[in-house]
Amino acid sequence: MTSLLLEWLVKIAVVFAVLITSVAYLSYMERRVAGWIQIRVGPNRVGPFGLLQPLADGLKFIFKEDIIPIKANKLLYLAAPAAAIVPALMTFIVIPYGSEIVLFGKQIALHVTRINVGLLYLLGLASLSVYGIVLAGWSSNNKYSLMGGLRASAQMISYELSLGMAIIGVLVLSGSLDLVNIAQSQSGYWFGFLPRWNIFLQPVGFIIFYIAALAETNRVPFDLPEAEAELVAGYFTEYSSMKFAMFFMSEYLNLITSCSLAVTLYFGGWNGPGVNSHPWLSLVYFLVKVFLLIFLFMWIRFTLPRFRYDQLMWLGWKFLLPLAIVNVVVTSTVLLLAS
């Protein structure tokens, strides 16, 4: 029992440290990718290739003045950044980031925990993450913040539906809500060469999932809640210092979790050639896949312009949701006829 507890604590600490570091370096990567796509330089002065830039940014965040507006609702104003970052940190624990490895003579499964409703747990926490944004917008007592908060909540409710519907296709195929099982069910090959990934069976589902995930993480072209041209900075207009950084971090954490979930559901999770003989490779495969999807997120961000608000709602309710429902019906019908 104590060894199990110790294993949990170590895993949680490692995942936490890796996540926080990745968040810092994603901000660096985002700016370098932006510079590369838009033919400019990006941060390259602090340390070799600007690699120490996140560290400098972090120090700057800590030393900035922490401002609380006089007319703000103080309690909720202070609680909102925490409400944003806590669910973002909690979601990753059910994601399997590798198969089983042997470390110090002990069999260790590379996921923090597995619960038989892991996917629902993840969706539930994702749906709670909207409160941080809504509370920040409301408690700041600023009309730009309020508009940003309203837009965020409307957008997240609308796209959560499509997200959930898109996932049902994968659930029907794998017959489990446990992400570890879903990842394992995608091992092996079709016809000897094509990996058994759900993306080949659920291409439409993946596209819906990816678009909805873009909207859920408030990224361009769905960054209406913080559209700087019309709303200053949206829901975190009034925030400064580490409180602002916490919103920033929760956004990147959600980005990592969405991409990890996409990899687990559609791209075979940690599966890849040679995983059975060298379990360490599974971790590498997982990280590479997640990295590529995150890069795609950034690519989209610096290529596409922002949607107009009514276009956003139209896309969510009148296109993605019906398409997702059709996807569920077609998948289940085909599966029923095939079995």
Q: Which residues bind another protein (CB under 8 A)?
A: 73, 76, 115-117, 120-121, 123-128, 130-131, 134, 137-138, 146, 149-150, 153-154, 156-157, 160, 175, 177
Taking the complex as a whole, the smallest distance from the CB of residue 115 to another protein amounts, in Å, to 6
Q: In whole angstroms, what separates CA 55 from the centre of its chain? A: 23
**Shortest spacing between CB 87 and another protein, in angstroms:** 10
In the complex with another protein, the residue whose CB is nearer, 177 or 231, is 177
Smallest distance from another protein to CB 231, Å: 15
Q: Please count the residues of the chain.
A: 339
Cβ burial, residue 136 (10 Å; 0-12/13-18/19+): buried
Question: Contact at 8 Å (CB) between 272 and 290?
Answer: no
Tokens of 74: 């103080």
| Maximum pairwise Cα distance, the chain | 66
CA-based nearest residue to 186, from 275, 117, 119: 275
Q: How far is the CB of 126 from another protein (least distance, A)?
A: 8
Query: Containing H/E element for 195?
Result: strand 194-195
Nearest approach, Cβ of 310 to another protein (angstroms)?
9
- Terminal CA-CA length for the chain: 43
Beta-strand pair 100-103/106-109: antiparallel
Least gap, CB of 339 to another protein (angstroms): 9
26 or 125: CB nearest another protein: 125
The answer to whether the CB of 100 falls within 8 A of the CB of 275 is no
Residue 153 C-beta: closest distance to another protein, Å: 5
SS (H, E, C) 83-112: HHHHHHHHHHHHCCCCCEEEECCEEEECCC
Look up tokens 């996540």; give the residue: 19
At position 130, the amino acid (one-letter code) is V
- CB nearer to another protein: pick between 19 and 156: 156
Extract the tokens encoding 86.
């806590």
